[in-house]
Every structure is written in C-alpha cells, then in structure tokens.
Amino acid sequence: MVYLLGCFAVLAAVIAICLFCKVRILKLSLREISVQAAEKFEAASNVPLTPQSRDKDVQRLASKLTGEIDAVIADKRRYAAGNGELFRAVTNVSHDLRTPLTSASGYLGLLRGCGLNEKQAEYAEIIEGRLNAMKSLTEELLSYSVVVSDEESAERSQECVNDLLEDSLTQFYIAFAERGIEPQIRICEGRVFRMIERGALSRIFGNIISNAVRYSDGDFCVQLFEDGTVTFENTASRLDEVSAGKLFDRFFTVENARGSTGLGLSIAKHLVEKNGGAIGAGWADGRLKITIKL
C-alpha cells in the first residue's frame, strides 16, 4: 500500500510538472503572438503571425488573428485611399471655383460703372455679398484639404503661447466691437512655452475665436493657465449637449444659413492633435466651453 501511494505521488508530481510546463509554454506563445500582432498592425504588414509553438490551438489562434488583422489593415487602406480622393476632389473643386468667381466679381465691377440706379445698386451689393461668401467658403475648403494632407509638415519651434494668444485676440478686436462683445481675457503671468508649429497655433486660436464671435450670444471669455491649458467660453443658446459633441465633425454647422462650411473647428482639432495636444468641448447651462491642452 505504501508503495502504491508513493507511485501515485510520483505520478501526480510528474503530471503537475508537465501541466506547469504546458501552461508556461502557452503563456510564452501568447506573448509571442501579442508582440507579432502589434508589429504586424503597426507596419501594416502582410506577413502572417508565426508562433514557434506547434500546438494546434495556438496555431489556430495565430491564423485567426492574422485574418482579422489583415481585414483591419485592408479597411484602413481603403479609408486612407477614400480620404485622399476626397481631399483631391475638394482641392480641384476649390481651384475650379476660383476662376468663375473672380470673373463674376470683375463683371460686377464693370456693371457698377454703368451708372446704376438706386435699386440696381442695391441688387449689385447683394450679389457682391454672395460672391464674397462663396470666395470665403472656397478658400476654407481649399485650406481644409491642405491642412489635413499628410504631406504638409511644418517645423516645430519653441513658441510663447501667451504672445500668440494675445496676437490672435487683437486680430478680432473689430469683430468683437461690431458684435458688442467685451471679451474677458485672463492670461497667466508666467510665460508658457511649447514646441509647436507657430502658424498652426495661430490658426487654432483664430478658428475658435472666429466661431465664438459668430455664434456667441454676446459674451466671450478666454483663459490661459500655466500648465498650457487654454479655455474659451461663451453663452451659446442655440447649442445643446448633442450638437456640442459634434462641433469638431467636419461639415457640421449650427446654422446652415450662416455661410459656414463647418470646417473651422475640425481644422483646429486636426492641428491640435497633430502637434501632440488635446481638444474638447462641453456644454452646460447654456454655455459652451472649448478646452485645449498643449
């Protein structure tokens, strides 16, 4: 009996050791698959996952993951190709619209020189306003297609956020005055420096301020904190939580009649993220708050 118990004990120990080795090998195989999967996805490679383990279940898992990753990579390539076609189409359309708009403006100038009566002059002014709006929209579309292009990459430099924010606000002094808005500006005393594209940061601030001027109910507040956070806040009764969440979607506009393509904040978001920052919007109690973290 003692001999049998000893044999069972040895057998149990051998089985335990075998199971431990099996689990250990499986864990190593899973780690290997995880590393290969990450590398395959990062490089968008067509090379299949090839774990060293000969275990059928491990091989089946590697084969399944290879197929799923290949499908995701294919979708990613199709998305990139579709985006590229869209940006090229937008660029081409914007260029094509420039010529007839310029021509129409020229003929309008000639028409005004023909001695128009009061009613005709009024109509000519309306036409000019529509032409200028079309020119602005065309330029915005062209600008968007250039900004989101992967080919555009400006050099980053050490820039003072305080100065760039002040410059951007100064450019909207007349716009604020026309809307009767007295902006509340709170900029920290400490100098905030960031490695960023100077033109991109000016564009980000300009687009956000322009959006506030257009849709604010009469107030505007901007704050810069020493940690690089910038907040823009204004009353926006035409918004709600749902629409505020869509503000950075391209072509989304609060009011279509305002003559906007809905690309300004989308461009700002792209430029912030391209420079390693984060941007978000929140709406509560009738007020919109856009926050940038540089």
Residue 14 has a pLDDT of 66
Residue 138 has a pLDDT of 80
pLDDT in tens, 116-141: 888 888 888 888 888 887 887 787 77
Mean pLDDT by 10 residues, the chain (294 residues): 61 68 74 82 82 80 85 82 71 75 83 83 85 79 71 76 93 90 92 90 91 87 94 87 80 60 82 90 88 92
pTM above 0.85, yes or no: no
Yes or no: is domain 157-293 CATH 3.30.565.10? yes
| Residue carrying the six token digits 């926050």 | 291
Using N-to-C axis directions, what is the helix angle for 56-112 and 2-43, rounded to 10°? 20
**Spatial contact of 217 and 234, defined as CB atoms under 8 Å apart:** yes
Token digits of residue 202: 């000016």
Residue 260 has a pLDDT of 60
Query: Cα–Cα distance between 86 and 59 in angstroms, integer?
Result: 41
Query: Cα–Cα distance between 200 and 271 in angstroms, integer?
Result: 6
Query: Cα–Cα distance between 272 and 259 in angstroms, integer?
Result: 25
Domain ranges in the chain are: 1-152, 157-293
